[in-house]
Amino acid sequence: MSTEVMLNEFKEISQHPYRVLSQYKQEGKKVIGVLPYYAPVELVVAAGMVPMGIWGSNSKTISMAKEYCATFYCTIAQLALEMLLDGTLDQLDGIITPTICDTLRPMSQNIRVAMSEKLPCIFLAHPQNRKPSFGLQFTMDQYNHVKAELEKISGSAITDEALREAIKVMNRNRAARREFVKLAGEHPETISAVTRSAVLRAAWFMEPVAYAQKLEALNAQLSALPVQPWKGRKVVTSGIICDNPKLLQIFDDNKIAIAADDVAHESRAIRVDAAETGDPMMALAQQFADQDYDVLLYDEHSNQNRRADYVVDLVKKSGAQGLVLFMQQFCDPEEMEYPYLKKALDDAGIPHIKLGIDQQMRDFGQASTAIQAFADVL
């Protein structure tokens, strides 16, 4: 299959998650919706079901969700609720609702109330003190709850073997994505910003094995390409999500390639693997404990600026000339860490821009001007 054909397939899936969902249902599979952040999809896979990431929508408008939500909440959470209310996600067999930020806390309740007659909601509260033994234990307690709820939906028990197998699958899936991120940074002439995003976005909708296979094939072709000199600029992207093709088109139009990312929807989600040996539940708990450098997670060494230093390092290693921060409107965790990110970037002499975005943005004129101006200073 040619690279182009493969890329188009990813694009199709990325643009039409609803079709993918319907197809799984037609095949008789059960599908579990997974809200951000850090839900153990391995458990869903081990239960023989398909995990489907829900990260809002770039085409919907908040309307029914207003019944539950004041205006000052991020569109990611509000549009997830919107899609649950308007029937878009009616085919799901269950949904996992993590609660790691102050928006997702009450949203877990709204979703459970709104879906009480429609959909089993699986509650998940991660610990912040996740590294000490008591934190690992609490993560396991929570994951065991998720496991039990998933078993109710699937109708069969999740064995340790199945979970270990699922861990392998997800490790493979993440490894392929990490490799792709690297290759995309090296081959911007082949992988545009728009395409890069589509490939990574498709990961949240496709069955993990099928996705990994497809992506490995694509990676093989990309690594066979000769490295060509890139005439444009390179940046690192940061933030919760930036998967709007119209917004990313501006990057392509200005020859700005994405060398690497610190984005929750992309690399933050795939940095850490789980151990493939030993107790699989403990492996998942340890995996969560090892997540780091994240605006959403407590840092035991909080008097240092580790997260921002990590991002600065990422920019330097990736060969990018600057950083673009996509600031989701009303996302206080990301906003809270901006001053120290800015400080570290400034100290390192790395230029950056902060672009305020949300998923209901339809006019990108302002963003376009800002990105162009930024390209000029790089």
Q: Which residues bind other proteins (CB under 8 A)?
A: 67-70, 72-73, 99-103, 105-110, 112-113, 123, 125-129, 132, 134-135, 137-138, 141-142, 295, 298-300, 302-305, 327, 329-330, 332-333, 335-340, 342
Sign, CA dihedral 295-301-303-309, equals negative
Q: How far is the CB of 233 from other proteins (least distance, A)?
A: 24
CA distances from 378 to 158, 272, 323 (A): 51, 31, 10
Question: Residues 6 or more apart from 278 whose CB is under 8 A from it?
Answer: none
Q: Which stretch binds ligand SF4 (CB under 6 A): 84-92, 169-177, 226-234, 331-339?
A: 331-339
Query: What whole-number distance in Å separates Cα of residue 36 and Cα of residue 173?
Result: 18
- The owner of tokens 């089993």 is 120
For the chain, what is the largest distance between any 2 Cα atoms, rounded to a whole number of angstroms? 58
Tell me the residue ranges of DSSP E strands in the chain: 31-34, 50-53, 94-98, 121-124, 233-239, 256-263, 322-328, 352-357
CB 118, CB 95: distance < 8 Å: no
Binders of ligand SF4 among residues 25 to 64 (CB under 6 A) are 36
**Closest CB to ligand SF4 among 62 and 296?**
296
Binders of ligand SF4 among residues 114 to 153 (CB under 6 A) are none
CB 80, CB 65: distance < 8 Å: no
- Candidates 39, 77, 323, 355; binder of ligand SF4 (CB under 6 A) is 77
Give the x/- contact pattern for ligand SF4 in 85-104, rule: CB under 6 A: ----------------x-xx
- The owner of tokens 């101006």 is 373
Query: What whole-number distance in Å separates Cα of residue 277 and Cα of residue 283?
Result: 8
Q: Does 74 bind ligand SF4 (CB under 6 A)?
A: yes
Q: How far is the CB of 36 from ligand SF4 (least distance, A)?
A: 6
Q: How far is the CB of 134 from other proteins (least distance, A)?
A: 3
Q: How far is the CB of 82 from ligand SF4 (least distance, A)?
A: 14
**Closest CB to ligand SF4 among 31 and 76?**
76
Name which of other proteins, ligand SF4, none residue 76 binds, using a CB cut-off of 5 to 8 Å depending on partner kind: ligand SF4
Query: What whole-number distance in Å separates Cα of residue 109 and Cα of residue 127?
Result: 18
Name which of other proteins, ligand SF4, none residue 112 binds, using a CB cut-off of 5 to 8 Å depending on partner kind: other proteins
Q: How far is the CB of 264 from ligand SF4 (least distance, A)?
A: 7
CB 123, CB 94: distance < 8 Å: no
Give the x/- contact pattern for ligand SF4 in 260-299, rule: CB under 6 A: ------------------------------------x---
End-to-end distance of the chain based on CA atoms, in angstroms?
37
Query: What whole-number distance in Å separates Cα of residue 9 and Cα of residue 195?
Result: 11
Residues that bind ligand SF4 in the complex, under the rule CB under 6 A: 36, 74, 76-77, 101, 103-104, 240, 296, 328, 331, 333-334
